[in-house]
Amino acid sequence: MSLSRLLGFLTRSTKKNSGSASADPGEAERFFALRHHSFKLFLTAWNKFQETMTEVEYTLCCDHPFGLYRVRALCTSVATQVFQCIQQLERLDPAPGPALYARFAELQKIVAAEVYEPESCLLGPLVLPLGRGNLDDADAEALVDPATARLEGLRGRFPEAVPPGFVITAAGCQHFFQSGELQSEINRRVQAAGGFGPEHLAKLSESLGGLVENTPLPEDLAEAVLAEVRDLRARCRRPMRLLLRGRLWPRASSGEDGTESANAAENVMDPGLLLWGPSVPLDAPDDEILEALHVTLARKQRAQALIYRRARGLTEADAGVCVTCLAVEEGAWGGLTHTGNPLQPHGANVHVYACGGLPQEMEYSALPVDMLRLARAAPHEVRGREPHDPEHPVLDDATALRVTELALALEEAEGHPLSLTWVCAPGGRVRLLLVRPMMLAADADALPAPDEAAPPPLLAGGVTVNPGRACGPAMPVRTWEDARRFPQGGILVLPDDSYLWASLIDRAAGVIAERGLLGSRLGSLTREFGKPALFGLKNALENLSKGQKITLCADLGRVYRGRRDELLAGAAKPRDFMPGSPVFRILQHAAAHILPLTIDVDSVDFRAANCATYHDIARYCHEKAVSAMFALGAEKKHAPQRVKQLRDAVLKQFWVVNLSDGFTTTPAGPVIDVGQIASRPMLALWRGMNAHPWQGPPPVDGKGFLSVLFEATANPHLDPAAQTAYFSEKNYFMISRDYCSLHSRFGFHFVSVEARLGARSKENYLLFQLRGGAANIERRILRVRFVADLLWEFGFAPVLRNDAVSARLEGMDTDEGEHLLAVAGYMTIHTRQLDMIMQDSTQVAARREEMLAHCRALFTGRDLPATDAQEAPPCR
* Alpha carbons 31 and 3: distance in angstroms, whole number: 8
How would DSSP label each residue in 498-538? -GGGGGGTTT-SEEEESS--TTSHHHHHHHHTT--EEE--T
**104, part of any domain:** yes
If asked whether residues 770 and 657 sit together in one domain, one would say: yes
Is 837 part of a structural domain of the chain? yes
Other Cβ atoms less than 10 A from the Cβ of 199: the count is 12
Per the CB < 8 A criterion, the answer to whether 746 and 691 are in contact is no
How far is CA 80 from each of CA 84, 94, 483, 614, rounded to the nearest angstrom?
6, 19, 34, 11
pLDDT for residue 867: 54
Give the confidence band of 63 by pLDDT, cuts at 50, 70, 90: confident
Amino acid at 358: L
pLDDT per position as a tens digit, 744-760:
876 566 888 989 998 88
739 and 785 together in one domain: yes
Structure confidence at residue 18 (pLDDT) = 37
Q: Quick one: pLDDT band at residue 285, thresholds 50, 70, 90?
A: very high
Average pLDDT value for residue range 47-72: 87
Q: Which has more pLDDT, 559 or 32?
A: 559
CA atoms within 13 A on the CB side of 23: 26
Q: Where residue 28 falls among pLDDT bands split at 50, 70, 90?
A: low
Structure-model confidence comparison of residues 510 and 872, the more confident one = 510
Q: Does 407 share its domain with 465?
A: no
**Alpha-carbon span 476 to 546, nearest angstrom:** 6
Exposed (0-12), middle (13-18) or buried (19+): which is 729, by Cβ within 10 Å? middle
Q: The sheet that has 349-354: what strands, in order across it?
A: 382-386, 370-375, 349-354, 333-338, 418-424, 430-437
How do residues 610-655 score in pLDDT, each as one tens digit?
999 999 999 899 888 877 876 654 454 444 567 888 999 888 888 8
What's the rounded Cα separation, in Å, for the pair 831 and 827?
A: 6
- Whether the per-residue pLDDT at 771 is higher than 60: the answer is yes
Task: List the domain range (segments joined by +) for residue 536.
Answer: 459-563
Query: What's the rounded mean pLDDT across residues 701-716?
Result: 42
Amino acid at 742: L
**pLDDT the model gives residue 101:** 96
What residues have CB less than 8 Å from 735, skipping those under 6 apart? 656, 657, 658, 659, 662, 677, 679, 681, 682, 741
488 and 611 assigned to the same domain: no
419, 434, 449: which is the final residue of a domain? 434
Same domain membership, residue 826 and residue 685 = yes
Asked if the structure places residue 869 within a domain, the reply is no
Does the pLDDT at position 480 exceed 70? Answer: yes
Measure the CA–CA gap between 562 and 283, rounded to whole angstroms: 59
Question: Looking at the structure, do residues 72 and 142 belong to the same domain, yes or no?
Answer: no
Q: Phi then psi for 129, rounded to 5 degrees?
A: -75, 145
CATH number, domain with residue 493: 3.50.30.10
86 plus 143 within the same structural domain: no
What is the spatial distance between Cα 488 and Cα 62, in angstroms, rounded to a whole number? Answer: 13
| Within-domain flag for 217 | yes
Is pLDDT at 777 greater than 80 in this prediction?
no
pLDDT value for 365: 78
State residue 719's pLDDT score.
Answer: 36
What's the chain's Rg over C-alpha atoms?
Answer: 34
Task: Looking at mean pLDDT, say which of 18-22, 52-56, 841-845 comes out highest.
Answer: 52-56
Q: Check whether 718 has a pLDDT greater than 70.
A: no
Tens-place pLDDT, residues 145-186: 999 999 999 998 999 999 999 999 999 999 999 988 899 999
Residue 259 lies in a domain: no
**CA–CA separation, 473 and 544 (whole Å):** 10
0.85 exceeded by pTM? no
Q: Which helix (H) or strand (E) holds 74?
A: helix 68-92
Is the pLDDT at 204 greater than 50, yes or no? yes
Examine residue 323 and state whether it is found in any structural domain, yes or no: yes
The whole-angstrom separation of Cα 506 and Cα 523 is 14
Q: Are 236 and 323 in contact (CB under 8 A)?
A: no
DSSP H or E stretch at residue 757? none
Q: What is the mean pLDDT of residues 436-459?
A: 70
pLDDT score for 636: 46
For residue 866, the model assigns a pLDDT of 63
What distance in Å separates the CA atoms of residue 811 and residue 408, rounded to the nearest whole number? 75
pLDDT at 19 over 50: no
Percentage above 70 pLDDT, the chain = 85
Same domain, yes or no, for 168 and 317?
yes
Tell me the percentage of the chain whose pLDDT exceeds 90: 50
Q: Which residue type is seen at 357?
A: G
Amino acid at 405: E
Which among 391, 418, 434 is the end of a domain? 434
Residue 117 confidence class, pLDDT cut points 50, 70, 90: confident
Q: How far apart are the C-alpha atoms of 354 and 350, rounded to whole Å?
A: 13
> Would you say residue 189 has pLDDT above 60?
yes
Do 67 and 206 sit in the same domain of this protein?
no
Residue 653 lies in a domain: yes
Mean predicted confidence (pLDDT) in 75-87: 95
| Residue 399 and residue 274 in one domain | yes
Phi, psi for residue 196 in degrees, rounded to 5:
-115, 45
What's the rounded Cα separation, in Å, for the pair 677 and 686? 11
Domain count, the chain: 4
Say which residue, 422 or 873, is predicted with more confidence.
422
**Cβ contacts of 824 within 8 Å, gap of 6 or more:** 685, 688, 753, 755, 766, 768
Residue 252 pLDDT: 60
Is residue 199 domain-shared with residue 107, that is, in the same domain?
no
Secondary structure class of 552 (helix, strand, coil): strand
User: In this predicted structure, what is the pLDDT of residue 83?
Assistant: 96
Same domain, 219 and 321: yes
Residue 853: how many CA atoms within 13 Å on its side-chain side?
8
Q: Does residue 28 fall inside a structural domain? A: no
Q: What is the mean pLDDT of the chain?
A: 84
Q: What CATH number is attached to the domain comprising 272?
A: 3.30.1490.20
Average pLDDT of 99-126?
A: 89
pLDDT at position 3, please?
36
State mean pLDDT over 347-363: 91
- The overall longest dimension of the chain from CA atoms, in Å, is 111
Residues 808-839 have pLDDT tens digits of: 888 999 999 999 999 999 988 888 777 667 77
Residues 319-351, buried b or exposed e (16+ Cβ, 10 A)? bbbbbbbbbbbeebbbbbbbbbbbbebebebbb
What is the band of 344 on the pLDDT scale with cuts at 50, 70, 90? Answer: confident
